[in-house]
Structures are given as C-alpha cells and as structure tokens.
Structure 1
C-alpha cells in the first residue's frame, strides 16, 4: 500500500488541512466499523501504540491503537496551529510534526521564502524526512497553501523547492488558494506572482482554487437553502455544511469555503484510501494530464456541492452530476472550460456508480467538449466504491484546460498596476537575499505561461511547424 504526506503551510493551509483530517477520519470511521487498522487507514495515518499507563489508546491484533496523521504543519504564527492542538484533532498530531514561529511573514513573500525559508530549512527537512521514514512506499506530497499572504506563498513555495531537492522521485501536488480581486492584503498580487513562478518550475501538478469562486458557491447554496421552496432543505452532513471539525469555537465564515477545498482533497485521495473497481494511482494524474511540463494547472470542479434532505437520486440525477462537473458554476476557479480547449481531463467518481455509467456519460459529453486534435481520447477515469459521508456518489473533475488563462491575466494586471508605481516594493527589497530581478523574472514567467496557453488556443492545439514549440513532458 502506498502512502502520502500532507504538508500544510500558513494560516489558510492549516485551516484547510484541519478540515481535511476531520472529514477523512469521519469517512474512515463510517466505513471501518470494527476499528481495525487497515490498508485504507495506513495511506494517510500511521498506527502508534502509545501504551498509556491509564489504559488509554492502545489495542491488540491490528486494532486501532492511536492514529497519527501523515502530515507536517508549518506556520510562522502560532494561532491556527494552537487552535488545532486545543481542538478535537489534538491527538492526531504531535510536536515532531509541527513548526511554528510567533511573528508571521507580514504578508511578504520575501520574508516567508527568504528569511524563514533559510532560517528553518534544516528543521523543515528534518520533519519531512521523519514523516517520510514512517512510510513503506511514499507516493505523493500534497502541499496546501494560499497565494496571497506571506507564509503560504513564500515559505509554502520554499517547502516545495525542498521537496524537489530532497525527494525528487516523489510526486508533488499543490493545492493553491488564490486571492479574490477584493482581497484585503494589498500586496497579494506580488505574493501570488512570485509564488506562481515557483509553482510553475517546481510542482508536478497545481490545483488552483479561487477564493471568489468559493464565496460564490457558498452564497448560492445559502440562497437556495433559505429560499423556502419545497425540496431545498440541505442535509447537515453534506459537503459544505458538516459541522465544526477540528477548530474550536463558533463556526467562522470561511469554514464552509475550507470544507469545499477539503472535499477536493478527499476526492483526489479517495482511490489511495479505499477500494474501487477502477482505482486511479496518484502518480497517474501528472502522467496522464500533463503533456507539457509547465502547463500543469488542473482546474478542479466538484459535484454535488450539497445533498438535499428529501430527495433521492435516481439515474437522471447521476447524469446531471456529470453535466454539472463541466458547468462554470461548479468550477473552483471562475472559468468556463466548455468554451476553452482541453488538453486532458480526469474524472474521479465515488460511490454507487458503474463503469458503464462512467463511459456512457463521457460519450454523451464528449461532443460538447473541445479537445486538442492530438488527444481526443485524453480521459483518465477513477472509480472508488466508497462515497463521501452524506452522499450516495460524488465526482471530482480535473481539467487541464486553457480556461485558466483569464485568471492568470487578471493576476498579471493587478501585479502590473502595483509594480508600475513601485508600490510597497521597499518592504520586499529590504529583505536579505531579495532582489528586484525576482519581480521581473516572476512576471516574465507568468507572461510566458499565458502565452503558451494562448498559443494552444490560437492553433486549437495543432502543432504548426513554424510556431513556437512547447516542451513535451517525458
């Protein structure tokens, strides 16, 4: 059985990670009624015999004794990590997995990447190695971080570089939360563009998620649930509304948003955690969906985003789930993939779904989805038999699609608006090791990425002899 490690960096990364571990434990408890430590649990948890003198969490004969998450938690402020350690998930982590400071990165990529990245590099390597040593067959690192602040963007991408240096053969998948246009961090365009260069160069796959898309989805669900119409009562254990999880205190506005991202991670890891008739290996995501090494931004869409309390789901609803996965309302970035070019697409299905249902829906949808000419059959499918708690089935679509281009262009425009005025630049240039060339190299990297997507759009993916060539992944 393969194992994966989750690396949570910064406030957002740790809040999303907290939701993931909470929901993952619920899923395993729902399936594993006898409390046995099995292969499914071993993929993201290890079993520790604590032999407590008070007769606490220990067991015999393969029973769960004491679960520890395969995770490393990093934040340069203590707040969120302390909250986790005081909440229901406190037993799932120990001090060897944690790395915190007190002052934070001041919403400055350079402080996170240069200052803290250098100061804590050896400790980060040590914690990653110790976590990796507990794996029999380490397959993947999942990095969860945000792009707009200083620790998530700066130290998060420094951790990504460390992973590439120390574990070059292990797949690196980043879930990166992009700020909305109205973000209250004025330097977020700088942080995001500087981080994007690192993601483009050092990640195997990036799953971009936009805060604005999450806000839109949550608002839409709230509107629906308060409409008073018959059949619009949403189940309490559905994807978005699923309780407090590992954080203490009253539910915060972003809890529902974090739940959506956590469910993205639950779905992408489901084949590694449970049996299925058509399980998808995590390594196969990059192998099958990334024909050009730099173009590894995979647009996620998730469906259903809620479950109605009084509605059973017949075949018609199953087909609707597949249709929804390609509608712009279910994308986790503001994009419309059906009107852009597909390089490849993965469908990761969970629950009571037959392979025949999967194939029938692909055949039904294919005519409306524009694929590059040389990869018309560019579909990767996974089928896991265990659905998320509260659902009969679910679907995660990962589209390598040129529809990311408008998001990246918008980010470039916001960066340029700040950079043209040299606004706040001195805060970055005062950081030891940071030079102005980092800004020009980062914006050039982003512009080059946009141009590569534009070239594919302009040629409909056809390889034209005199046109600039993209590097094919090998």
Structure 2
C-alpha cells in the first residue's frame, strides 16, 4: 500500500485540511469496525502505539486512536493551528509536523514567498523529509492552500517548489481555492496571479476551486432545506452538515464550504485507501489527464453534495457514447471503490481537463490589470527583499501564455476527426 502526505499551508489550507482528517477518520471508523490498524489506514495515517506489536489500534469515542496524520501544517499566523491543537484532533499531530509564526503575511504574496519562504526554508524541508521518512512507499504530496491571501499563495507556492526540488519523483497534487471577484482582500488579484505562475511551473495537477462556486452551492442547499417544501429536508450526516471538523467553538459560515473541498479530497483518495473492483493509482491522474505539462488544471465535479432525508437518489443516467476532443484522445481513467462516503450510498467524482478554466483565468487577469494599471498597493510588494517589479510582468505574461494555450485548444473544437476514439459505456 502506498502512502501520501498532506501539506496544509495558511488559514484556509489548515481549515480544509482539518475537515479532511476529521471526515477521513469517520470514514475509516465506519468501515474498520474492529479498530485495527490496516493498509487502508496506513495510506494517510501511521500507528505510533508501540505497545501493540501486531499493529493494532483501538476505537475510543468512535475514533481509531494512537494514530498520527501524515501531514505537515504550516501557517504564519498561529490561530487556526492552535485551534486545531485544542480541539478533538489534537492527538493527531505533534511538534515535528507543525510550523507557525505570529505575525502573518499581511495578505502579501511577496512576504509569504520571499520573506517567510527564505527564513523557514530549512525548517520546512526538514519537516517534509521527516514526514516522508515515515512512509514505506511515498506516492503523492497533497498541497492545500488558498490563492487570495499572503501565506497560502506565497508560502504555499514556495513549499510547492521545495517539494519539486526535494522530491522530484513524487507526484504533487495541489488543491487551490481561488478568490471571488468580491473578495475582501483587495490585493488578492496580485497574490493569485503571482501564485499562478508557480502552480503552472511546479505542480503536476492543480484542482482549482472557486470560492464563489462554494458559496453558491451552500446557499442553494440551505435555501432548499429551509424552504419547508415536502421532501427538501437534508440529512444531518450529509456532506455539508457534519460537525466542526476538529475545530472548537460555534459553527462558522465557511465550515460547510470547507467540508465540500475536504470531501473532494476524500473522493480522490478513496481508491488509494480502500479496495474496489477497479482501483486507481494517484499517479495515473496526471499520466492520463495531462497531455500537455503546463495544462494540468483539472476541474472537479462531485455528487451528491447532500442527501435528502426522505428521498432515495435515483441511479444516474449515463450517455452510451462519449466522444473525445481531438487534442486528448486517450485522456480517460476510471476508478471504482467499494466504500462510499459516510452518510451516502454512492458518490461520483469527475476530474476534467478541459478549456472551461480559461474563463476563470481571464477574469483573474482582468482584475489584476485593473489594479496594476494604477500601480495600486504595488509599493507593499516592492519593499520586500528579493521582490522586483519584473515579478509582476513575468507572472501576468505566464498567465496570458496559459490562456493563449487554452484558446488554441478551443479553436480545435470543431475539428474532431471522424475516426476519433469514443468511449462506450456498458449498461
């Protein structure tokens, strides 16, 4: 069984990561009734109970104990990490996995990438190496971060480049939360575009998740569940309604949004954690879905996001034939896992490498240009050691080049060859 390490950077990255660990524990406890440490658990957890020579663990309060998450938690503002360490998941992490500061990055990519990236480089590498040493067969690093702030975008992408430098043969899958146009961080277009260049250069696969899309999904489900209409009540253990995810205090507005992203990661890794009729290796995601190295932005779609309390979800209808685009005629991989997410009878995750991400990137470029044309807030970045104005021009040039590559593929939509392969779905 292969193992993966989750690297959580910044406030958003650690909040989403916390949801992932909480839901993963629930999922394993639901399947592993005897509480024994097995291969499924070893993919993302390691057993540290030396008293149990047979590698077993026991269940207390519904959770398998004596486990440590295969994770590295990084944040230059210690609030969220401290909250995790005071919550029900506190035993899952130790000091060798944590790196925090107190001042934060001030919503400045340059501070996170240049200042903290240089100051903490050796400590970050050391913690990554120790996490890797606990793996018998390290297959993948999952990096979780946001694009709009300073630590997630700046230090997060610095960590990504360190992963490529230190572990060039290990797959790097990045989950990136993109800010909405109404983001309250005024410099988020700068941070996002500067981070985009790093993601394009150093990631194997990037799963872009738009913050506004998460807001829309949660609002739609809450509106439906509070409408009072018959058959619209949402089960309490559905995806968006399942507790705090190891954080203490009252439920926050973004808990449900983070929960959706955590479930996305659970679904991606299910074949790596459980048996199935058609298991999928995580390395095969990039191998099958990324025909061009720079165009590795995979759009995720997940269903169901909730389960109605008194309605059985019907079996999905599949098209009997699916045509392939001319530029990616063999880009298909299927994984079938026998264990659905807790609270659901079934689930489906689709990762699509298509040109629809171009619109998000174009909107981001427009917001960047609007700020950059006025040179607004530029001095905050240029005062950081190692940061030059050329970094901005290189970043926007990289993004424009990426958009052009997608536009070029868009232009081939109507040129599907008659003999292009088609996938036939067995019914």
Change over 3 Å in CA distance of 1:135–1:473 after alignment to 2: farther
Post-superposition Cα deviations, 1:211-255, rounded to whole Å, max 9, x if no partner, equal: 000000000000110111111110000111111221100000000
Q: Could you tell me how far 1:315 is from its partner in structure 2? A: 3.1
Query: Is the Cα contact below 8 Å between 2:290 and 2:296 reproduced in 1?
Result: yes
The alpha-carbon deviation at position 197 of structure 1 amounts to 0.1
The TM-score with structure 1 as length reference comes to 0.84
8 A contact 2:3–2:138 mirrored in 1:
yes
Per the alignment, do residues 80 and 53 of structure 1 end up closer, same or farther by CA in structure 2, a change over 3 Å counting?
A: farther
Residues 47 and 453 (structure 1 numbering): CA distance in 2 closer, same or farther, change over 3 Å?
A: same
Q: How far apart, CA to CA, are the structure 2 residues paired with 1:470 and 1:275?
A: 25
* Contact kept? 2:25, 2:64, Cα under 8 Å: no
Contact 1:293 1:473 in 2 (8 A): no
Contact in 1 for aligned 2:35/2:58 (Cα 8 Å) = no
SS state at 2:173 partner: strand
Cα distance, 1:92–1:412 mapped onto 2, change above 3 Å: same
**Segment of structure 1 superposing worse, 455-464 or 440-449:** 455-464
Residue correspondences, number: 426
Taking a change above 3 Å as real, the CA distance of residues 221 and 465 of structure 1, as seen in their structure-2 partners, is: closer
| 1:164 counterpart SS class | helix
TM-score by length of 2: 0.93
Say if 1:281 and 1:55 are closer, same or farther in 2 by CA, change over 3 A: closer
Alpha-carbon distance in 2 for matches of 1:111, 1:469: 49
CA separation of 1:62/1:138 partners in 2, compared to 1, >3 Å: closer, same or farther? farther
Query: In the superposition, relative to structure 1, how do residues 406 and 468 fare at CA in structure 2: closer, same or farther (>3 Å)?
Result: farther
Deviations 1:403-460 (A, max 9, x none): 0011000000000000000000000000000011100000000000000000011122
Q: What is the alpha-carbon distance in structure 1 between the residues aligned to residue 422 and residue 306 of structure 2?
A: 43
1:371: how far off?
A: 3.3
The counterpart of 2:388, out of the listed 432, 435, 448, is 435
- Offset at 1:311? 1.4
1:153 and 1:170, CA in 2 relative to 1: closer, same or farther beyond 3 A? same
Q: Structure 1: 5+ residue runs without aligned partners? A: 318-365
Cα distance, 1:470 vs structure 2: 25
User: What's the offset of the Cα at 1:164?
Assistant: 0.2
Question: CA–CA distance in 1 between the matches of 2:191 and 2:126?
Answer: 27
Residues 372 and 461 in structure 1, CA contact (< 8 A), matched pair in contact too: no
Larger CA deviation: 410-419 vs 49-58: 49-58
* Residues 52 and 250 (structure 1), Cα distance of their counterparts in 2 relative to 1, 3 Å cut: farther
**Contact conserved, 1:9 with 1:75, CA < 8 A, in 2?**
yes
Work out whether 1:312 is the aligned partner of 2:312: yes
Q: Distance in 2 between matches of 1:80 and 1:61?
A: 24
* CA pair 433-393 structure 1, distance change in 2 beyond 3 A: same
SS in 1 for 2:7: strand
2:135 aligned partner: 135
Q: Cα 1:370–1:414, aligned 2, differ >3 Å: closer, same or farther?
A: farther
Distance 1:80 1:371, change over 3 A: same
CA distance in 1 between counterparts of 2:356 and 2:271 reads 27
Is the CA contact (8 Å cut-off) linking 2:288 and 2:330 kept in structure 1? no
Is residue 225–residue 234 contact of structure 1 (8 Å, CA) maintained in 2? yes
